Chain A
Amino acid sequence: MAANHTATRALSPAIPAWRRPGWGRWVVRFSRRKPLGAAGGFVMAAIVVTALFANLLETHDPIATEAARTLAPPDPAHWLGTDHLGRDIYSRIVHGARVSLIVGVSSTLVGSVLGGVIGLLSGYVGGKIDLLIQRFLDILQGLPLLVLALVMSASLGPSIENVIVAISIPIIPRAARIVRSSVLSIREMQYIEAARALGLRHLRIAFRHVLPNTVGPFIVLCTAQLGSAILVEAALSFLGLGVPEPYPSWGRMLSVSAAEYAQKAPHLVLFPGLAISLAVFGSNLLGDALRDTLDPRLRGA
């Protein structure tokens, strides 16, 4: 079965994995072979559902304060307790899934797509341009992701859009590197030579023949980056440089609770942190399993 799979891949390079028939069956096989990855996928799906239906899943208004019940421990009325302003933590976590996913997914996509296009052109064109782009990426990659995001979000000012930009810029060089390296090997393939012999224009070859074959590493990259994007958003919000009030963000929920109320009400610290960890854990599990299946070079390693 596996041999068959790779044979199809080699024969029809222009059809990306997800467009080939039977992708429901692919999911079943994937879950059977990679139970941990499937668990990660399930966690991510659950978080997506939570984010989509946050309004139905909430038990309270996530930004409504209740002065009589501040720092309440978990009880039947407030499943996960309340914070220092009497806001319901469960409802805030449910809505926080939205912020985390929106920021995480869009910054990952923006960063990976921009980086992917840069990597594609850099690898396909080669020569001096490639060298220049590589040096520029060195500059962007020379700083820890969080430091760069921190400086950017501070200078852009706090808003959801700016946080997304701040997180996606540091992702660009990482995405560009990965796509470039797979472009370099694809460029030497015979079907590219054939396309060139047919007189196709370079842009067409790059986007129609090279690009679809980088989809595997690209998906792997996205799932891997999603986790760190969620973590960076949490850290930025924790430091007060992330998503602004009134959106409930997991990172900011921690920052309020950190210093003052942690000992009086440990649930303030535990639950938002668990939510972050679970989301990142899910995407890491999924990313690992996808890497093993989609990136044939790493199979078995």
Chain B
Amino acid sequence: MKTYLAQRLAVALVTLFGMSVVIFVLLRLAPGDIVDILFSTAGYVDPEARRTIMRELGIDRPLAVQYGDWIWQILHGELGKSYRYDLPTWEIIKPLLPVTLELALLSIIVAVLLGVPTGVISAVRQDSVLDYVLRVMSLAGLSMPSFWLGMVIILGLVAWLRWIPPMTYVPPSQNLALNAVQFLLPALAVGYRSSALIMRITRSSVLEVLREDYIRTARAKGQAPRAVVWRHAFRNAMLPVVTVIGIEFAFLIGGLIVTESVFNLPGVARFLVDAILWRDYPMVQNLVMFIAIVVILSNLAVDMLYGLLDPRIRYGR
């Protein structure tokens, strides 16, 4: 177990290092830099002033030096300064984290609550009308852009309830109920999409388990059908489902990017878009790196969970 862990950690570190190179290079492919954007409304810019700013921001140095500098800073726990706000990146990100985390957690809860039961039902009633309906519904969830679904939910509320959800962020410390409502709507939109994947994996996994011998044995000894499904099949079918939930949790961020914009929530994902539009290199670099770390950590966590969930798996002892 220990050597396995060490191996996984080493691979994760190498992957992170590779990602940092990819991210760094990608951002430097860009035509134009922050100076161009800052001065885009100014018309003529004195080349001398331009050079001064570039020197101040440190983007006149060779790329390798800039990269080394960035990694050095990350290793020292410093995330650099945002060009645009002239503030340390960490100070800008910190208040955004709880917003994204709350939204991500709520979305994954919605996704699991929707996806797992429908997946089990669909598998148990394979090829029935109910199975078809549930499958088509989940496929529809995969097909709708979650930001559009969010907009439609808002429109529906306006049309039927004559009520517009608050369009400015309400912190939970101020009004918990309003905050919950405000987050639940986007969480429904994002969670519905993720639930589709979870439902499909649950369904195929339960179907597979239901064909096993011990299920036939349980049925043969006259156990109630419900107990067969939930006590015997369900628990054994959950392993791949947990994997998908872990992966989905990391990839939820993709869905959050646009949804946070639509619901005007000040989270990390929305901020990433802003930073990209402004070519605020340190911000984008660090935000994307942050996302990469979250993804890799949650993959690692899923791996660890395996051992706990399934005693049959004991890594390379």
Contact indicator A135/B148 (Cβ below 8 Å): no
> Across the interface, which residues of B come within 8 angstroms of A277, CB to CB?
140, 143-145, 148
> Across the interface, which residues of B come within 8 angstroms of A138, CB to CB?
11, 15, 18
Contact indicator A136/B139 (Cβ below 8 Å): no
Contact indicator B159/A150 (Cβ below 8 Å): no
A46 at the interface (CB under 8 A from B): no
- Can you give 13 contacting A-B residue pairs, CB < 8 Å? A135-B14, A146-B257, A147-B257, A150-B257, A150-B276, A231-B145, A240-B277, A241-B277, A254-B151, A269-B148, A276-B145, A277-B140, A284-B142
Contact indicator B152/A273 (Cβ below 8 Å): yes
| Smallest CB separation, B304 vs chain A (Å) | 18
Instruction: Identify the closest chain B residue to A35 (Cβ).
Output: B132
Question: A-side interface residues toward B, CB under 8 Å?
Answer: 36, 135-136, 138-140, 142-147, 150-152, 154-157, 227, 231, 234-235, 238-241, 251, 254, 258, 262-263, 266, 269-270, 273, 276-278, 280-281, 284-285, 288, 301
**How many angstroms between the C-alpha atoms of A171 and B15 in the bound complex?**
18
Known: A146-B254, A262-B155. A285 touches B139 (CB 8 A): yes
| Contact stretch, chosen from B44-52, B69-77, B284-292 | B284-292
> Across the interface, which residues of B come within 8 angstroms of A135, CB to CB?
11, 14-15, 18
Known: A135-B14, A266-B159. A147 touches B136 (CB 8 A): no
B236 at the interface (CB under 8 A from A): no
> Across the interface, which residues of B come within 8 angstroms of A136, CB to CB?
18
Chain B stretch 244-292: residues in CB contact (< 8 A) with chain A: 250-251, 253-255, 257-258, 261-262, 272-273, 276-277, 279, 284, 288, 291-292
Question: B-side interface residues toward A, CB under 8 Å?
Answer: 11, 14-15, 18-19, 22-23, 26-31, 132, 136, 139-140, 142-145, 147-148, 151-152, 154-155, 158-159, 164, 204, 207-208, 250-251, 253-255, 257-258, 261-262, 272-273, 276-277, 279, 284, 288, 291-292, 295-296
Contact indicator A155/B26 (Cβ below 8 Å): yes
Contact indicator B139/A288 (Cβ below 8 Å): yes
8 Å CB contact of B145 from A154, A273, A284: A273
Known: A136-B18, A145-B254. A281 touches B139 (CB 8 A): yes
Contact indicator B276/A142 (Cβ below 8 Å): no
| Smallest CB separation, B127 vs chain A (Å) | 10
Instruction: Identify the closest chain A residue to B25 (Cβ).
Output: A155
